[in-house]
Amino acid sequence: MVTVTSSRSFSPGRFVLYALLALFCIYYLLPLYVMLVNSLKPLSEITAGGMMALPKDWTLAPWLSAWSSAQVGVEATGLKPYFLNSIIMVVPAVALSTLVGALNGYVLTKWTFRGATIVFGLLLFGCFIPFQMVLIPMARMLGLMGLAGSVTGLIFVHFVYGIGFSTLYFRNYYAAFPTELVRAAQIDGAGFFRIFWRILLPSSGPIAVVCIIWQFTNIWNDFLFGASFSDFSSQPMTVALNNLVQSSTGVKEYNVHFAGAIMAALPTLLVYIVAGRYFVRGLMAGSVKG
Amino acid sequence: MSISETANPRGSVADRLRDALPKLVLSPTVAIVAIFVYGFILFTLYLSFTDSRILPTFGLVGFENYDKLFRLRAWDTAVSNLVIFGVLYIAICCVLGLLLAILLDQRIRAEGFIRTIYLYPMALSFIVTGVAWKWFLDPGIGIEAVVQGWGWTDFKFNWIKDREMAIYTIVIAAVWQTSGFVMAMFLAGLRGIDSEMMKAAQIDGASTFALYRRIIIPQLRPAFMSAFVVLAHMAIKSYDLVIALTGGGPGTSTELPATFMYSYTFTRNQMGIGAASAVIMLMTIAAIIVPYLWSELREKK
C-alpha cells in the first residue's frame, strides 16, 4: 500500500509511519479475517491447527448450517428465526424512538420553557444508567402489560431507553436551526405541527440518518435486554448466537459459530460501510458534543 | 392575517390547548422517563432494602443486603476484576487511541480508508467480538495451536483458561473493540487545535516530539475527559463481552459487577443482594456521569 508518487521525498520516517499504520490495520482486521476464513472451511481444518490458513476445501456448509439447521438452545432451527426476530424488533423500535426524539428536540429548542434544561438533563442521565438497575422492575412491568417474553415487549423496552439519545441528537441539531424562521412562520399563522412538518423536518435529513444508524446499531447489538426479557421464540440474534456458541452438547462446530457471528455482525457492518460518516458523527455526538 | 392570537388573553379552550401543545407533546416522554428510569431506580433501591429472593417481596431488612454483599467473596472478586479491567482498559484505549490519532494526523494517504478499518469493530456487537476472540484465544485451536503448528512448539498462550490471567483477555478484546473510537475522539480533538500556534512553535524550532508533548497533548484535555467518561461507564456496564468471551470463568475469575448482579438476581434467587449490587453500580456511574453532564449542560447555556 506504500506508494511513493508525491513530490515529497520518501523519508525513512514516513516509511516507519506507514508500516505502523499497516500493522494496526492488520491488528483490527485479524479477527474479521479469522471469522471469515474459518466460516468457509470444514471443521477438521480448524481443529488441525489451521485457524490462520486459507481454506483448502472451500465450503458454504457452515453458513447453511448456521442459518437453517444448527442447534440453538433446544431446537435445531439455525439462526434464521432469530435474525427475523431482530429485524421485527429493530425496525419499529428505531422508527418510534427517532420520531419521538425529533418531536422532543423540537419542543426543547423552539418551544422552550422554564426547566427545559433540567428535563433534558434528567432524560440524558437516563441514557447512562446501568440497565441492571431497571431489569427487575421492567421484568415485572412487562408481565403486568402482558408483554413478557415477546418481541413486542423488546420493542417497547428499546423504544423507552432509546428516547434519551434520539432526543439528544435532535435537540443539539435543532439548537443550531435559526429560531427566527420558526417565529416568522408562527406570525404567518402556522401552528406547532405545521412548523415542524414543513420547516424543521425537511432539513433534518442528516441528523435523522445519524439517529437511525445509532439506534439501529445499538438495538441490533443489544444483549442484556434480549437475554432478560425474551423467551425461546422471541430471542434476538445476539442471544441466539450466544446460545449457539455456548451450547455444550456435541462437538463444537467452530466454523458454524464463525458463520453465525458474521451473520449477526453483517447488518450493522453493512450500515457502517455504507454510511460510516454518519455512524462516526453519532458516536461523537454521544460523547463530545459540539 | 391574524397576528399572534396567542398574545390575546381571551383564553378560549382552543387557544389554551394550542399554548399547551408543546408541553403536551413532550409529556409522554416525561412520563416514560419518570416511570421507567426514575421510578424503576427507586423501585430497585427499595428492593435492595428488602428480603426479596426469587420474586420481589416487601419486608424491609435495613442494610442487611449491603452488609451481606460486602462480605461476599464473589462480589469482592467482581469489584477487584472491575478495577483491573477498568484501569487497563481505559489506559490502553487512551494510549492506543492517542497514538493512532497522532499517526493518522500526519497527512496520510488514504486516511479515510485506514480510519474506517480502525473504527469498524465499534459497529459490532460485543457478542460477536466475544465469539471471535473466544476461539482466537482458545489454546486448543487458536493462536497457541497455530504458532505451535508453525514450529514454535514451546509457545504458550492460554490466558483464557488461566484463572489468574483470564481477566486480561477481556481487556484485550474490549480494547480491540473500542480503541478505534477513542482514536476518532482524539483525531477530532487534534483537528480542532489552532494551527497558527503549531506553526509558531515549529518556527521556533520545536521538535515534533516537543510540539506534541508541550502544545498539542495538553490541548486535548476535553477529548481526554470525554474518552474517560465514555470508557469508564462502558467498563462498569460491561456484561455482554464477559458472557460471550469467558462466561465469567474459569470458575468465577472474570466475573464483573454486571454479571454478578445478573446471576445473583436471576439464577441464584438473591434478588435483594442483586438489587444492592445494581445500586452500587448506579452510584459509581453517577459519580462519573453527573459532574460531566452538569458541566456540559451549563456550558451550553
User: Which domain CATH number covers B175?
Assistant: 1.10.3720.10
Are A136 and B47 contacting, i.e. CB atoms less than 8 angstroms apart?
yes
Same domain, B140 and B264: yes
List, in order, residues 6 or more apart from B301 with CB less than 8 Å away: A117
Nearest to A133 among B40, B120, B180 (CB): B40
pLDDT in tens, B186-221: 998 888 887 787 778 778 877 878 888 888 888 888
Residue B126 belongs to some domain of the structure? yes
d(CA A229, CA A179): 43
Residue B113 belongs to some domain of the structure? yes
Residue B61 belongs to some domain of the structure? no
Same domain, B129 and B226: yes
Residue in the structure block whose three cell numbers are 458454524: A256
Same domain, B26 and B78: no
CB contact under 8 A, A3 and B109: yes
Residue B201 belongs to some domain of the structure? yes
Same domain, B170 and B219: yes
Residue of B nearest to A226 (CA): B240
Same domain, B280 and B195: yes
Residue B54 belongs to some domain of the structure? no
Residue B57 belongs to some domain of the structure? no
Are B169 and A268 contacting, i.e. CB atoms less than 8 angstroms apart?
no
Q: Choose the weakest-confidence range: B51-55, B113-117, B124-128.
A: B51-55
User: Given a cut of 90, is residue B178 above it in pLDDT?
Assistant: yes
Q: Cα distance from B197 to chain A (closest Cα, Å)?
A: 22
Residue B123 belongs to some domain of the structure? yes
Q: Cα distance from A166 to chain B (closest Cα, Å)?
A: 12
Task: Count how many domains chain B has.
Answer: 2
B277 touches chain A (CB under 8 A): yes
Same domain, B113 and B19: no
d(CA B297, CA B291): 10
pLDDT in tens, B39-95: 999 999 999 999 888 888 888 888 999 999 999 999 999 999 999 999 999 999 999
The number of residues in chain B equals: 301
* pLDDT confidence bin for B298, thresholds 50/70/90: confident
Same domain, B81 and B202: yes
User: What residue numbers bound the domain in which B154 lies?
Assistant: 72-300
Residue of A nearest to B146 (CA): A49
B287 touches chain A (CB under 8 A): no
d(CA B170, CA B176): 10
Residue B58 belongs to some domain of the structure? no
Same domain, B41 and B76: no
Q: Cα distance from A132 to chain B (closest Cα, Å)?
A: 6
Q: Which phi and psi angles does B60 have, rounded to 5°?
A: -75, 140
> Measured between beta carbons, which residues in chain A are less than 8 angstroms from residue B239?
132, 223-224
CB contact residues (below 8 A), chain B span 44-83, against chain A = 44, 47, 56
C-alpha cell at A144: 403486568
Same domain, B10 and B158: no
Domains of chain A: 12-63 (no CATH), 80-285 (1.10.3720.10)
CB contact under 8 A, B146 and A3: no
Same domain, B81 and B34: no
Are A168 and A104 contacting, i.e. CB atoms less than 8 angstroms apart?
no
Regarding predicted confidence, which is higher, B296 or A241?
Answer: A241
User: Given a cut of 90, is residue A67 above it in pLDDT?
Assistant: yes
pLDDT in tens, B3-53: 444 445 556 787 788 778 888 999 999 999 999 999 999 999 999 999 888
Number of Cβ pairs closer than 8 Å across A and B?
268
Same domain, B225 and B169: yes
Distances (CA, A) of A14 to A9, B71, B253: 10, 56, 44
pLDDT, averaged across chain A: 89
Nearest to A284 among B2, B188, B229 (CB): B188
CB contact under 8 A, B21 and A50: no
CB contact under 8 A, A49 and B281: no
Same domain, B123 and B252: yes
